[in-house]
Amino acid sequence: FPLQMRKPKTMIHTGSREEVAAFSTHFHKLSEEYGSRVVILSTVNDTGAEGILNLKYSREARKSENVQLFKHFRFFSGEMAPLTERLEDLYKDLKGVLSAQGLTQRTDHEIVTRKAQSGVLRINCVDCCDQTNVVLAHLVNSVVREFVLDDLDPDEWNDLEAALRELWYENGKQISEQYAGGAALKGDLTRYGFRTFSGRFQDLKSIVNRDFSNRYKHGALQDGVDILLGVVKEHIPLHLDSRLRPYFPRIVIIIFVVAFVCKNLNFSRGLLVAFKLLSALSFGGLLFVLSKPEAWTLRSALGGTKAVVYPDASTFL
């Protein structure tokens, strides 16, 4: 999605003793609390700045005495295999490790420990925990199915699986509300086990909502916090010199909504070509917007006035 091109670049600072100490302390606590079988599953991209971060992460993990295994999973892969198949392959790779960590099962009358838990799976991504929730939900459901399926009849398992999927769907939704101010992406995959048209459309709305909330709601709140903390960066927006430029953000969004609908409704080949043309036009429009950052100021995008903040406290006296 082109709006993700505006994602801030990841800045990496490594080598300080404080960072190494914090890393060691964190995984030492995990080892003490859950056991020595601490497994790291990283869904951080392995390209670009995130790739550098993932490389540094893996190096520190392999040097740590408290980490049994470091595993990387390419959530966004160029392979043709669907995500669900790759998640199943991931579980097969980790099945032995997860089984060795053990499971605690609660019955109606008592707690029966089949095997004391001897480790934990630590999984992470970079942004809003969308990837983490999808992967973790699949792994948890697979582990539960492996351990309890023999003790349940098909109807009981179907009810339990549906409850687990709903639980992880709500978990991802609530976490995403805190991180990004909107619903989690790929929630339909967590809830139903496959992608749906309504789920893809909800993802589209969530992405747009996140971008606008960040620019015109949360950004202003962050500015207020920065002022209270005395962290103020002067920024004077450039004046617009074109009547059309303010409308480009909205044009890009409208084009992508139309293109998204055309693609997912499986229209004729002619409409598929139209989708590609719309994508090219929207991409070109986005490049124009990126070349003129002032087109994304509050004045240009919403037609309102942009507030000017004076860091001098005497202004308010």
Q: How far apart, in whole angstroms, are the C-alpha atoms of residue 24 and residue 20? A: 6
pLDDT value for 268: 57
pLDDT digits (tens, 9 = 90+) for 215-239: 777 777 777 777 777 776 555 443 3
* Local structure of 116: helix, strand or coil: coil
What is the mean pLDDT of the segment spanning 137-142? 90
Q: Which two tokens stand for residue 39?
A: 């497994």
Q: Which of 127, 128, 100, 129 is CA-nearest to residue 116?
A: 100
β-strand partners of 105: 112
Residue 190 contacts residue 169 (beta carbons within 8 Å): yes
> Would you say residue 214 has pLDDT above 90?
no
β-strand partners of 112: 105
**String of DSSP letters for 186-213:** THHHHHHSS--HHHHHHHHHHHHHHHHH
Residue 215 contacts residue 301 (beta carbons within 8 Å): yes
> Would you say residue 312 has pLDDT above 50?
no
pLDDT digits (tens, 9 = 90+) for 18-50: 888 888 999 999 998 888 889 999 998 888 778
Quote the crossing angle between the two packed helices 83-101 and 130-148, to the nearest 10°: 60
Residues above pLDDT 70, as percent of the chain: 63
When pLDDT is cut at 50, 70 and 90, the band that residue 317 belongs to is: very low
Q: How far apart, in whole angstroms, are the C-alpha atoms of residue 198 and residue 80? A: 22
- CA dist list (Å): 263 to 114, 202, 216, 258: 49, 15, 30, 9
Q: How far apart, in whole angstroms, are the C-alpha atoms of residue 226 and residue 280? A: 39
Q: How far apart, in whole angstroms, are the C-alpha atoms of residue 90 and residue 187? A: 19
What is the mean pLDDT of the segment spanning 89-110? 81
Whose structure tokens read 């005497």?
314
Residue 14 contacts residue 56 (beta carbons within 8 Å): yes
Residue 70 contacts residue 62 (beta carbons within 8 Å): yes
When pLDDT is cut at 50, 70 and 90, the band that residue 118 belongs to is: confident
β-strand partners of 39: 69, 121
When pLDDT is cut at 50, 70 and 90, the band that residue 269 belongs to is: low
* CATH of span 20-205: 3.90.190
> Would you say residue 260 has pLDDT above 60?
yes
- For 196, residues 6+ apart whose C-beta sits below 8 A from its C-beta are 188
pLDDT value for 113: 63
pLDDT value for 285: 59
